[in-house]
Amino acid sequence: MASIGTNAEGKKQAVNPYLPSWEYIPDGEPYVFDGRVYVYGSHDAYDGETFCVRDYVTWSAPVDDLGNWRYEGVIYKKTEDPLNRDGAMCLYAPDLTRGPDGRYYLYYVLDRVSVVSVAVSDSPAGPFRFLGYVHDEKGGVLGERAGDEPQFDPGVLTEGDVTYMYTGFCPKGDRSRHGAMLTVLMPDMLTIKEEPVIIAPGMEYSAGTPYEGHAYFEAASIRKRENLYYFIYSSEVMHELCYATADNPRGPFTYGGVIVSNCDIGIGTYKDAALPSAYGSNNHGSMIEIGDRWYIFYHRHTNGTWFSRQGCAEPISFREDGSILQAEITSSGMNGGPLSDRGEYPAYIACHLYTPARSVYVEYDAPKIAQGSEEGGEPYSFIRRITDGTTIGFKYFDAKGVTGLRIRTRAYADGFFEIRRSPDGEVLGRIGMKNSNIWTAGECHFENGAWPDGKCALFLTFCGSGAASLVSFEFLHD
């Protein structure tokens, strides 16, 4: 099948999703250790029946080669936790911090309990071994004591010999949960030094505050940039990652805005800002400085479900006061610039996928990124169930002398794809397709000058009957 290709330096280009098409690591928490970026997250399955069904694994990449990810293996099995020896519970989203002793500590919550588990390793690549549960000095386990709110989605930051742990899950209608909590831990990484306090309101307590409409839901994460602490979280609308800032990890935190939406709501440069351009749903991630750029890591949804999520990342920009401009979702992600216009690209790097109905949230019967394999072959991903009016978008490319486009399609459909540089722009060409049960190439050529040189996007809209599939595309040159 198609490959990503290399850049001018001979390195593999970085695209979204940044891991292989068959890997499903959502809830990404990125960190840089010894010149490599490591990503920690939960672990979904393709066509999974629920969230986070697999053991924790991690991947890493050199900081100067962000298209070259290496599988580090299983770092922690769900059966390592004494509460889960039979493996009946799932490992929800973890976070990691380097403790005062130089070791690496992994914090997580199992899916049917309300306590925070901790595992430790001498290496960022694991393996990790179970250490204990966060507890008070009398041995009372946080989340089980009278008056405790349930623990969920820990985000951790260690400064000196103190570790700050942010947790919480605040669904609509549950007034027993007040918001995101901060608990301060002792140097042993397990014992409570300061009891939980609320640092950002949940939706039941956000009315009249700057958080209203973007209240804390889940996915607590914490980062520091220059003199500001950024509390990053998934808001009540789920598809967006928001942030709040403070000059102290204890707060008070001031709501800042949206960093990224996995359906691009809020971005109005190429569409109305209120319109979704992908099928969104829950979101979780964080930001990290890699080299001289900052990135926001988040996840997208595949297979028409909530349970097969893949990691993506985008560069972010800051204003002078430290506030963040909302990032636009792209195919080029951490590439450092537009993708080359040379070579055959896999269709699964699409950043936009929608029908005229423009749903904000995942729909099973809608167009979707799916996974398949040829008999005896390796798994690959493609876009299926492309019906009349479906638009697929890819961004961005560095066009130089583009004269046409070739696509490979399959399935029982009769119609054509319109080719544009923007969702509602001029139709520059059409490629027809008719019923086929094998991947079949079709192409068209543009009139002279119809595809100008420079940074560009590619949008394909299907017009016709049936349901088509798309596996790859390629810009043509004379």
pLDDT in tens, 436-449: 999 999 999 998 88
Q: What is the pLDDT of residue 272?
A: 97
Give dist(CA 289, CA 294) in Å, integer: 4
Residue 3 clears pLDDT 90, i.e. is over it: no
Residues with a known catalytic role: 27, 218
Q: What is the pLDDT of residue 262?
A: 98
Q: What is the pLDDT of residue 475?
A: 98
Could you tell me where in the chain the CATH 2.115.10.20 domains are found? 29-325
pLDDT in tens, 48-99: 899 999 999 999 999 999 999 999 999 999 999 999 999 999 999 999 999 9
pLDDT band at 36 (very low <50, low <70, confident <90, very high): very high
Give dist(CA 132, CA 109) in Å, integer: 12
The CATH number corresponding to 340-477 among 2.60.120.260, 3.30.413.10, 3.20.20.80, 3.55.50.30 equals 2.60.120.260
My answer on whether omega of the bond before 62 falls inside 30° of 0, hence cis, is no
Q: What is the pLDDT of residue 9?
A: 76
Could you tell me where in the chain the CATH 2.60.120.260 domains are found? 340-477
Residue 278 contacts residue 286 (beta carbons within 8 Å):
no
Residue 8 clears pLDDT 90, i.e. is over it: no
What are 206's two structure tokens?
């956000």
Helix (H) or strand (E) holding 31: strand 29-33
Three-state secondary structure string covering 418-449: EEECCCCCCCCEEEEECCEEEEEEEEEECCCC
270 CA to centre of own chain: 21
Question: Look-up: residue for tokens 């209608």?
Answer: 173
The CATH number corresponding to 29-325 among 2.115.10.20, 2.40.50.140, 3.30.420.40, 1.10.10.10 equals 2.115.10.20
Residue 414 clears pLDDT 80, i.e. is over it: yes
Q: What is the pLDDT of residue 76?
A: 98
Q: What is the pLDDT of residue 405?
A: 98
Residue 273 clears pLDDT 80, i.e. is over it: yes
Give dist(CA 68, CA 84) in Å, integer: 34
Q: What is the pLDDT of residue 47?
A: 87
Residue 15 contacts residue 307 (beta carbons within 8 Å):
no
- What residues are paired with 165 via a beta bridge? 156, 183
Residue 216 clears pLDDT 90, i.e. is over it: yes
Q: What is the pLDDT of residue 254?
A: 98
| pTM attached to this predicted model | 0.97
What are 23's two structure tokens?
């890997």
Residue 5 clears pLDDT 90, i.e. is over it: no
Residue 222 contacts residue 285 (beta carbons within 8 Å):
no
With a CB cutoff of 8 Å and minimum separation 6, the contacts of 323 are 245, 256, 257
Residue 1 clears pLDDT 80, i.e. is over it: no
The C-alpha angle with vertex 126 and arms to 221 and 70, in degrees rounded to 5, equals 85
Helix (H) or strand (E) holding 184: strand 179-185
DSSP strand pairing (391-399 vs 339-340): parallel
pLDDT band at 404 (very low <50, low <70, confident <90, very high): very high
Q: DSSP per residue over 57-78, as a string?
A: EEEEEETT-TT--EEEEEEE-G
Q: What is the pLDDT of residue 10?
A: 80
Q: What is the pLDDT of residue 438?
A: 95
Instruction: For residue 171, give the DSSP letter.
Output: -
User: Which of 470, 335, 330 is closest to 4 using CA atoms?
Assistant: 335
pLDDT in tens, 154-180: 999 999 999 999 999 999 999 999 999
Q: DSSP per residue over 336-372, as a string?
A: SSPEES-SEEEGGG-SEEE-TT--SB--TTS-EEEEE
Contacts by 242-249 with C-beta closer than 8 Å and gap 24+? Answer: 242/214, 243/324, 244/200, 244/211, 245/322, 245/323, 249/157, 249/159, 249/164, 249/182, 249/222, 249/224
Q: What is the pLDDT of residue 150?
A: 97
Residue 290 clears pLDDT 90, i.e. is over it: yes
